[in-house]
Amino acid sequence: MTTATPFDATRVWLQRGSLAAGIAFTATAEYDLARSLGAHLVIAAMLPLAIDAYVVAALRWFRAFDITLSLTLMGAAQVAAHLLDAHVMKVNIPMVVVVSLLVPVALWRTHGRHHGA
């Protein structure tokens, strides 16, 4: 017999608050990154949408592999955006390659039948 975990309003509030704040913060940098690489205003919004939708799906329904991978994609976009914004790095071929692969990987994993171990 299993015992149901009691509802914890504080935990739910913290989880939702963390998710909302994290998505808002990262989406801004992801959008700026896409713009820095030449994406049109509307199309640039698709980078954070694709990555952040994968993160939310992974956190809600997927296993450890997808949680790790989705947060890695999000982190890669953050690092690239902040390096560009701080003028530590300029747009270069490796950065364009990595950023170009973020959305296809997010799509593949979000729509895959099996979600990591």
pLDDT digit string, tens, across residues 44-96: 999 999 999 999 999 999 999 999 999 999 999 999 999 999 999 999 999 99
Provide the pLDDT for residue 96. Answer: 94
Does residue 91 lie in a domain region? yes
Does residue 71 lie in a domain region? yes
Please give the model's pTM, rounded to 2 decimal places: 0.83
For residue 40, is pLDDT > 60? yes
Does residue 85 lie in a domain region? yes
Helices H, strands E: what count in the chain?
5, 0
Does residue 4 lie in a domain region? no
Q: What range does the domain containing 81 cover?
A: 11-111
For residue 77, give the amino acid letter. A
Provide the pLDDT for residue 46. Answer: 96
The answer to whether residues 70 and 109 touch, using CB atoms and an 8 Å cutoff, is yes
The answer to whether residues 55 and 74 touch, using CB atoms and an 8 Å cutoff, is yes
Provide the pLDDT for residue 44. Answer: 96
Residue 29 to residues 16, 34, 111, 115, 117: CA-CA distances in angstroms?
20, 9, 24, 27, 30
Does residue 116 lie in a domain region? no
How many distinct structural domains can be found in the chain? 1
For residue 116, is pLDDT > 60? no
Give the closest residue to 78 by CA, choosing from 116, 22, 38: 22
pLDDT digits (tens, 9 = 90+) for 82-100: 999 999 999 999 999 999 9
